[in-house]
Structure 1
């Protein structure tokens, strides 16, 4: 990126000046390949015609089960649909790039086509309209397509936000390979949390999936569902009008809604007063959408099961609401009153679902209001009011308990329940897995993918055992052992019949299990299994089959890992390592005093946090001068930035030789946990360190670039800015390490050899920042001050001067929420949601990763001499 090479500005000029002008054939000429491939006497596909409303351009995504299932992505332009075949379908994760093969243009009328293309015809198979809507290009669409990079916005029923199509360099393929990529915006979601093609598989026109019978009649576009014009029942109108100050904000009822998922916890949260608890039901998660008289029962992955649950749909229709999204779990009660998972399966298998009851526990939308930002207690109150004292028989309110979670867990086990769910008081509703909901189980239990089975032995019929697996982060199925108990004769026969339909000669596991003689099956069936433990080899022991699961797709099955529990109160806090527990010996006064009103965090909890991360933060503090940020009044109160102390004012905090900073009181250094905890007792929230060690204070051993966003800078811009800084440093031959600031920004740290003094290092870091500002002036500024960086990012190089400090890795921040500065690997940056993603309260989820992202820092140190020459910087 140095100016003498290829800067982004230069690259943009070249791209603008050298762009080819895209020829514009007529629609008739563009459709010639489409016509040549089809016999319209046999195929129901439209021959030609169709146009969008004036001033708009349409897009459509069609799910097409031909020889292989794929998705056809089409954008209207110049009278035709420009088309790409996307084998795996669109993905909302910006880090996932989906292959898109450029194919022939299609007529605009094709956007409404649903039907079955007959055998022996081009593209033979069934087509449904998976999504449709309008699209708008950023800039000149024709020029962008010619250059091979089209940025655009989608406004569909399922796909929204900003996207990019990028042409790849081909290797002689007949059809151009492109990539379809989701941009980072409010509509982006990690694939691990939400796979939209799995969650929403059906047609936006008919609600059918591509393989659902009966097949759509040849040649006739599927009619859109007619809007129900009948008025809502009087009871609903009355309920809707009863309050003029309803809670939540006004909002249209969304077409789709993904559920909030709970995080598996290894132990109850340590702050029980901040949580409510519900029983964990052994059933199927179900969301229901009420829109006038139309009732829909939707599984957690977006499948419409309304037709399977007619009695339940009738019960929901009796509720006094005109519109709602409700969340809960459907179960069948067993003989002892607890849910019976096998009985639930049998109900669906036999088509006799009248015995199913629906335990409701949340109401994200109700009567034209979006309640997701309200506290969970308020949403529950609204739900209770909706159900009333005499709810329909099939509908029940999941009771909330404010009691000891350990006592509740023991009681749930006695009653035959799977466990309990904890929900943090005051938390909102989010459509992803969240630490604000935790699940605590009485035994280890999770879903597995069935990859094969062994032959039965003795008098047993069907099969001997099922071979189980889970998918890893790379998408490979890993073998996890088998299960051979928990089956009766009926189950064996039923499961064997399903297995026979999936038989294959290919082993689906990445590594073929040794010593196992098995019949392999396609990894399509999912089962739930309870077990005693995981072995070091990743196998389960003492497993018992619980049932098949029809509500979860195989590709989403991962090994469940229990998170580190929430911090304990300071009076009893312990730090848990690999099997060892170390009590906190420091006495914390006023431990119950709230120091952050936003999160409710107390002084004791902050001390417990520093006790928990002591082994992680001390390597960053040892041997360096440290400055302390004290907040006696808590977050929002007056702060004291302290670089000096009196002798023995803080036990364990070392006073350095006054000669290191002539004319001032001794600098401070914290090398031990005792010093860290003394600081916590004295209301220290933040710890800041120098860029040099105390033993060589005259020559820095690192540079820090603090990316500070101005007003109006979106988080996606911050992520891109960090990558641009990394790119420049890499071109200069310098290593770069990343961490969150715990506030609004990101820190890029460069380990260097101690060859230069402070003025040289600071001057060079300023030159780096000035180069960024000169090269990409629409992103970066080199001057501090709020007015200078509105809509831009100031990369603060002032951290590199003598006496300047930067917040240490693993330090908390004295900001609302108490964010934490955490080391990151660069490949984690795309999934980061904010600079304060980790806080004092949720840091337990990050502790196991520790300092691993920075493991190679010491060995990567380099002199900045060559980089200074490359950038053209000469120290004075």
Structure 2
């Protein structure tokens, strides 16, 4: 193994052990190459991820090796490392890493982090929250989410869906946002999907943001039923793009913008402009190509401004007044008020 090196950044010294260790076997990029990538995109990544808690996806032997998700930071850490308390849906707490600056990102890279999954809140948001307490169907209080300042839509391709289909779905989604006066931006997922993000005014909690995303998904399905679906159950989706509103369920994380995926090719979840969406090839957006792209084109999300989801919340209220129920929650969440039965439709029919 190669000798450790020290990198000075943000007034701190980060030790990088085994810098020549291959992390991405397709082209042979190393741990040090990953460090250099994050140094190259430090400004845009901290613009989107800075001061947010992150869940670490660790691959100490590189992409394709053993892995695990780590929400809690290890006990032995530098005295400058910033953490914050986060909660799971059942109220379990843990100390999560805060992406406070580039030094914190590089510290995680040294641990073999090949993926940052980012909270839609800033550190300390739960403690500062003044939102009313939310209760589950059994009357138990749920963990507060704090101010949630990003709405995130995952366009999830069903079998048979092409990337051209995804592009069309993203444009249809953007058109609805634009009609409502909401500025939305797009990025590749680093895998098969596309993510659409809206930076929000600091006015709503996670439950409200999820309600807004459900209203968006249902309206998109009403307008484009052959292309888009809000159906949680896979057996009901058919050959359509699923608008995954549950990425906005409180205490959920989404793979971060500008972050390198734990794939052997080192693909990056890359923000792109709407004008460029038709020309990109996602697998070509890697840690080896994205820095030059940023240098040439800049950050397409640099001018984002906080948006209002009032139009979507009004749409949600109209759906509730019309007799619609809440959409299904992921199985790790407690049963929620006004939620339909958590059983596959085919099994419910047999019962």
Under a length normalisation based on structure 1, what TM-score does the superposition of the two structures give? 0.32
Of the three residues 287, 302, 318, the one matched with 1:840 is: 287
Of the three residues 661, 668, 676, the one matched with 2:97 is: 668
2:313 is aligned to 868
Alignment of 1:686 onto 2:134: no
Matching of residues 17-416 of structure 1 within 5 Å: none
Q: Is the 8 A contact 1:656 1:669 kept in 2?
A: yes
Matching of residues 650-799 of structure 1 within 5 Å: 652-657=80-85, 663-697=92-126, 698-784=146-232, 788-789=236-237, 791-799=239-247
Distance 1:873 1:751 in 2: 24
Q: How big is each residue's C-alpha offset from its partner over 1:7-64, in whole Å with a ceiling of 9 and x where there is no partner? A: xxxxxxxxxxxxxxxxxxxxxxxxxxxxxxxxxxxxxxxxxxxxxxxxxxxxxxxxxx
Can you give the 5+ residue segments of structure 2 that lack an aligned partner in the other structure? 127-145, 321-325, 327-337, 339-351
1:452 is aligned to none
CA spacing shift, 1:849–1:692, aligned 2, 3 Å: farther
2:51 is aligned to 623
Matching of residues 561-576 of structure 1 within 5 Å: none
Distance 2:271 2:101 in 1: 20
SS at match of 1:688: strand
Q: Is the 8 A contact 2:4 2:17 kept in 1?
A: no
CA spacing shift, 1:784–1:629, aligned 2, 3 Å: farther
CA spacing shift, 1:574–1:827, aligned 2, 3 Å: farther
Q: Is the 8 A contact 1:571 1:604 kept in 2?
A: no
Q: Is the 8 A contact 2:87 2:94 kept in 1?
A: no
Q: Is the 8 A contact 1:692 1:700 kept in 2?
A: yes
Q: Is the 8 A contact 1:652 1:672 kept in 2?
A: no
Can you give the 5+ residue segments of structure 1 that lack an aligned partner in the other structure? 1-568, 576-580
User: Offset of 1:769 from its aligned partner?
Assistant: 1.1
CA spacing shift, 1:768–1:606, aligned 2, 3 Å: same
Q: Is the 8 A contact 2:152 2:248 kept in 1?
A: yes
Q: How big is each residue's C-alpha offset from its partner over 1:289-318, in whole Å with a ceiling of 9 and x where there is no partner? A: xxxxxxxxxxxxxxxxxxxxxxxxxxxxxx
SS at match of 1:828: coil
User: Offset of 1:611 from its aligned partner?
Assistant: 2.5
Q: Is the 8 A contact 1:709 1:789 kept in 2?
A: no
Distance 2:66 2:58 in 1: 9
SS at match of 1:794: strand
Higher relative contact order (CA 8 A, sep 6+): 2
1:588 is aligned to 16
Distance 1:812 1:709 in 2: 21
CA spacing shift, 1:844–1:699, aligned 2, 3 Å: closer
Between Structure 1 and Structure 2, which shows a larger proportion of strand residues?
Answer: 1
User: Offset of 1:705 from its aligned partner?
Assistant: 0.5
User: Offset of 1:684 from its aligned partner?
Assistant: 0.3
SS at match of 1:637: coil
2:140 is aligned to none
Between Structure 1 and Structure 2, which shows a larger proportion of helix residues?
Answer: 2
Q: Is the 8 A contact 2:59 2:114 kept in 1?
A: yes
CA spacing shift, 1:658–1:804, aligned 2, 3 Å: closer
Q: How big is each residue's C-alpha offset from its partner over 1:153-172, in whole Å with a ceiling of 9 and x where there is no partner? A: xxxxxxxxxxxxxxxxxxxx
Distance 1:822 1:670 in 2: 18
